[in-house]
Structure 1
Amino acid sequence: MVDIIRIVLVDDHALVLEGICARLSEEDDIEIVAQAGNGLDALAVVKATQPAVVLMDISMPVMDGIEAVERLAQDHPDVRVLILSMHNNPEYILRLMRTGASGYVLKDAPSKELVSAIRTVNSGSTFISSGASEQLFCNSQVAAVKNKSILTKREITVLTMIAEGLANKEIAHFLELSVRTVEAHRQNIKSKLAIYTPAGLTKYAIEHQFVKT
């Protein structure tokens, strides 16, 4: 039996909503349970339907996506928010990811990437589309130089093990920590370095000689 991913769509453009609905209806494991045209309505809809994932635009009337993400993170921390936006601005992306979004997909991305993003964030992981990742990578190079000294010794150890390909459970075992503690270290590392992909973290660790190539 297929596990169904229950989704709420939030966008103020009816044609966009129709297009997304049509595309996602082709997937057997995705069900759209509600729609909203702004962030304020989205809060009410999410409370009523308790979806697994919210697919949300940024620029909307009444309440924009940034404020809505902040509110959802506070009121519904188990709901995963995936941003779908035309904005390819690192500041937008970083702010939303730090606020509580689980992923960021550009509206010009292929539809299969959107589907992959939904499944990824639903599984508990982070997803940033290829176009947005490029912008983040360029921005993170500056942040990395400034933030290298911010990492604690424990975070450097965890980063090194991530770069070596170890999963959270393996890191927890070797360091005699709980998996939740390792996950917290991983999130802190991402936030401090402004790097949100495993590949980006690995590249950072190599460039700063935390691991040998």
Structure 2
Amino acid sequence: MDNIKVIVVDDHPMVIEGMKAMLNQIRSVQVCAFASNAYEALDKVNEHLPDLVITDINMPEISGVELASKLKKDFPQIKIIGMSTFNERSYILQMMQNGADGYLIKSASKEEIEEAIVSVMNGKIYLSVDTAMTTQERRDIKTQPVLTRREKEILQLIGDGLTNPQIAEKLFISLNTVDTHRKNLLLKLDANNTASLVRQAIYFNLLYI
């Protein structure tokens, strides 16, 4: 896989310089831009249309989590790798639930960064080798369903106990549209009724309860 266009987003100049040095050593990667915040990142993405965005999670104003969500909504074809100094499960879950395809610790080596890029570009989920998670937790995240913004909205309303007609009225959409989304949710979460759908949603931390 050659000429993978990458944009790196981080508000720390030293991190940017470090990533630049390592990415320039990876033959298949073409670094097309750097950004220091989410607003700048969105401008750069519109300008360069990269294959991959590597973004810090903890940024001022708009976080990497929010940026990932926005990118997946507007540019679903772009792969996203979240990057952080933290290796807590909650950070990883937030990133993956909002569309990220991988997660790296900032101390990752050039070899691991290359492995992460190759993995996500091949449609796989990548989690840093330094991530403090059990084997089961890693397996759970790698099998976690990816939901659209509307599916997340409807799932939350189902979890709140609303019926299909109530959801349709609340979101100003047709009953048929709600029914279609509900069927997609059942399929994605491997559930056969509302009760099991809610259980699966809680298991994957997809509901605010």
Q: Please say if 1:81 is aligned against 2:88.
A: no
Q: Name the CA distance, whole Å, in 2 between partners of 1:87 and 1:137.
A: 18
Q: Deviations over 1:46-87 (max 9, x none)?
A: 111100000000111231101101101101110000011111
Instruction: Give TM-score scaled by structure 2 length.
Output: 0.65
Q: What is the RMSD of the two structures over their aligned residues, measured on CA atoms?
A: 2.7
Residues 5 and 115 (structure 1 numbering): CA distance in 2 closer, same or farther, change over 3 Å? same
Within 5 Å, give how 1:87-166 maps onto structure 2: 87-132=86-131, 134-135=132-133, 137=135
TM-score (norm 1): 0.63
Does structure 2 retain, via aligned residues, the 8 Å contact 1:82–1:101? yes
* Matched positions, count: 151
1:1-213 superposed matches below 5 A: 3-132=2-131, 134-135=132-133, 137=135, 188=189, 194=204
Instruction: Identify unmatched segments of 5+ residues in structure 1.
Output: 145-183, 195-213
Superposition deviation, residue 110 in structure 1: 2.3
- Structure 1 residues 68 and 28: CA distance shift in structure 2, 3 A: same
Which digits, 9 at most, give the CA deviation of each residue in 1:110-151, with x for residues without a partner?
A: 22111110111112211011222x42547579x89xxxxxxx
Distance 1:186 1:22, change over 3 A: farther
DSSP-derived class of the 1:63 partner: coil
Cα separation, 2, equivalents of 1:136 and 1:97: 17
2:52 and 2:79 in contact (8 A); partners too: yes
SS of 1:6's partner is: strand
Question: Counting helix residues as a fraction of each chain, which structure ranks higher?
Answer: 1
Identity of aligned residues (%): 30
* Gaps in structure 2 of 5+ consecutive residues: 142-184, 191-199, 205-209
